[in-house]
Amino acid sequence: MRKQVIIPAIGILVAAGFGAWWYDLPVKLGLRPEAQKEFVLYGNVDIRQVSLGFRVSGRIDELVVDEGDVVKAGQILAKLDAVPYEHAARSAEADAAALSATLDKLVAGPRKAEIDKARADYNESLADLENADLALERAVQLRPQGNISQANLDQATARKAMAAARAQSANEALKLLEEGSRAEDIATAKAQFQASEAALASARTSLADTQLKAPSDGIVLSRVREQGAIVAPSDIVYVVSLVQPVWVRAYVAEPDLGRVHPGMKVRVASDTRPDEAYEGTIGFISPVAEFTPKSVETPELRTDLVYRLRIVIDHPGPDLRQGMPVTISLPETTASTR
């Protein structure tokens, strides 16, 4: 009786084993892909925060937000007393305007009225020269007859020489006005004006820097300074936690490195909501191996070499807080059919 029961049972086991072998045979031969399995990693939400301070020194005039406040990119967080920087900006504007006028004057050159006056002065000097020349000629003719003294002749000669010099000077002055400003003078004035423009831009930048703005969306973690405090450019005023984008730091062991690649879609779940996973994308895989950090929980030995991953959460929720541990599920790639 016992043999009658054992023999059919053995037959059933043999048939089941043969059926399993026959089912897996196409997979072993590469005729059918293997069923997908999940590959699990463990990591933490990256702690991303920034220490904010003014780029200029001064007295804090107003603190707009406090610890725990949600801030948006570009939102004003604090203000310095801007009066000294407003004065500096106005002074730089006046200097730039003065140098701009000087440059315009040199580029435009002498006015027509100035040239006309110089030409008239030159013509007048020519007339004086002609009269002096006539007076000298008469003195030369009268001197042999003794009608004038030698002193008078010398004076006439000197007056002609002075008239000739004045005519030459007036002629050169007219030529200078007609030629206009020197190229070197224009280049110097232009360089001085450009320097004043740079000083003005710097003054305006310093004035704008009296307002401390949030670089991106975030939450204020701490307010380090109080209203009325004198701060230097290196002093921290706020510490802000950045909420976008949310990155997850994980590590993959060297034997499993071939299972992951940039752009791969993964699912990230927290201990708070293990059944509500977020979709993420592997955005970075470190090219350098490192020893497993002590804060990482993996089944492998901690002395194994691992590679760091950065996973970007596409649409994070409020339950993903910085530093919290998460579980990353990656679908294992199927074997290609050949």
pLDDT class of 231 with cuts at 50, 70, 90: very high
Query: 122 and 222, same structural domain?
Result: no
Q: What predicted TM-score, i.e. pTM, was given to this entire model?
A: 0.63
Predicted pLDDT at 35: 47
Using the predicted structure, report yes or no on whether residue 134 has a pLDDT greater than 90: no
Stretch 312-322: mean pLDDT, rounded? 79
Please name which of 212, 241, 237, 242 lies closest in space to residue 227, comparing C-alpha atoms: 237
Let me know whether 324 and 226 are in one domain: no
Q: What is the pLDDT of residue 31?
A: 46
- Listed residue (309, 320, 322) closest to 277, CA to CA: 320
Specify whether 61 is located in the same domain as 145.
Answer: no
d(CA 328, CA 282): 11
Q: What is the pLDDT of residue 222?
A: 94
What Å distances lie between residue 93 and 86, 195, 203, 208, CA to CA?
Answer: 11, 12, 9, 15
Same domain, 136 and 65: no
Same domain, 201 and 108: yes
Residue 228 lies in a domain: yes
- Both structure tokens of 150: 């030698």
Q: What CATH number did the domain enclosing 276 receive?
A: 2.40.30.170
Whether residues 71 and 94 fall in one domain:
no
- Which residues, 6+ apart, have CB-to-CB distance to 325 below 8 Å? 42, 43, 44, 270, 271, 297
Considering the domain architecture, whether residues 95 and 185 belong to the same structural domain is answered as: yes
Q: Give the pLDDT band of residue 333 (cuts 50, 70, 90).
A: low
Least confident of 24-33, 115-124, 235-244: 24-33
Residues 190 and 259 in one domain: no
Domain range for 54 is 49-81+209-242
- Using one digit for the tens of pLDDT, what is the confidence trace for 172-201? 887 777 777 788 888 999 999 999 999 999
Q: What is the pLDDT of residues 92-111, one digit of tens each?
A: 999 999 999 999 988 888 88
Residue 315 CB contacts under 8 Å (≥ 6 apart), including other chains? 278, 279
Q: What is the pLDDT of residue 44?
A: 87
Shared domain check, 163 and 135: yes
Distance separating alpha carbons of residues 178 and 287, to the nearest angstrom: 72
Residues 250 and 188 in one domain: no
Overall domain count for the chain: 3
Give the confidence band of 223 by pLDDT, cuts at 50, 70, 90.
Answer: very high
Tell whether 173 and 318 lie within a shared domain. no
CA distance 236 to 56: 12
The residues, ordered by sequence, that sit 6+ positions from 303 with a Cβ below 8 Å of its Cβ are 291, 292
